[in-house]
Amino acid sequence: MIAADERYLPPDNGKLFSTGNHPIETLLPLYHLHAAGFEFEVATISGLMTKFEYWAMPHKDEKVMPFFEQHKSLFRNPKKLADVVVSLNADSEYAAIFVPGGHGALIGLPESQDVAAALQWAIKNDRFVISLCHGPAAFLALRHGDNPLNGYSICAFPDAADKQTPEIGYMPGHLTWYFGEELKKMGMNIINDDITGRVHKDRKVLTGDSPFAANALGKLAAQEMLAAYAG
């Protein structure tokens, strides 16, 4: 899992938006993958701890919260992504790369050469790439070089919805750029323009549109990965 390590996203008015990874988008897919027998590691660009949008933590969930407590040390003490990337090869035991959402995915990941290298390794070595909501912003790391995701279709959080977030009081200002527009420029097709909890599979790229897709995406990922690796 490639996690967010930055807390503050600056909108267009000089203020700061406190963000990170959305807990539901992070924990539900991981819960299903873990239940299917897949262990996971956490990496951030800096090696510093994962930042979560703790306001969205499902404190009363009797399955997700124990799972979070059990694995909290992984989020607080992640690997540095560059150290993971340098060790990747065709025989690496990683079955997938998972990039959860939350606006924290807009900070650093789209410009990271380490993110680009990890994604290139996954696609070229027939591994899964799993992401949802704002997580696919990480795919923008591929736009200035070798882009094996050109022509892929995905679900993601719609730009149109992001443009409404200041009016509903969610963000203190407008974003200075919109990741959906940029993904389309690099040859990707976003198949949803609304938020319905939709998930999508294009080859081994599995995506969802929002936190509402987290449960279904986790189940889809577990199903697809078991089919590919079990036995």
Q: Is 133 a catalytic residue?
A: yes
Instruction: Name the active-site residue from 96, 105, 130, 133.
Output: 133
Identify the CA nearest to 154 among candidates 174, 134, 168.
134
Q: CA 133, 201, 33: angle at the middle one, nearest 5?
A: 75
Under DSSP, the state recorded for 128 is: E
Residue 108, CB half-sphere, CA atoms under 13 Å: how many? 20
Q: Which helix (H) or strand (E) holds 181?
A: helix 179-185
- What whole-number distance in Å separates Cα of residue 2 and Cα of residue 208? 16
Q: What Rg, from alpha-carbon coordinates, does the chain have? A: 16
Question: CB burial class (10 A; 0-12, 13-18, 19+) of residue 173?
Answer: middle
Q: Tell me the catalytic residues.
A: 133
